[in-house]
Amino acid sequence: MKANLVRIDYLDNPKFPRVDVFVSVSDANGLPIKNLTQDAFTLTENSSPASSESFEATQNKEQPLNLRM
């Protein structure tokens, strides 16, 4: 059984220690999982829980279409 895939797409850290992390989450078939909330994620730093100041779910509509045949 395949698991969901979480991919870090981009880290934006010029305002360190604030770091913005952009991720994509797809299901076992490679399809995006939509409508995720902050409760769906666990944030850790060096294996220790870290706090998140904000969470914003977005959808990249400019992402090119990916077809598997």
pLDDT tens for residues 3-17?
A: 888 888 889 999 988
Residue 3 in contact with residue 28, Cβ under 8 Å? yes
- Provide the residue ranges of all domains of the chain, joining segments of one domain with +: 1-69
Cα torsion at 65, 62, 51, 4 (round to 10°)? -10
Count of CA atoms in the C-beta half-sphere (13 A) of 32 = 15
Task: Give pLDDT tens digits for 7-59.
Answer: 888 899 999 888 888 888 888 888 888 888 888 888 888 899 888 778 887 77
Angle, CA of 10, 1 and 38, to the nearest 5°: 40
Residue 10 in contact with residue 3, Cβ under 8 Å? no
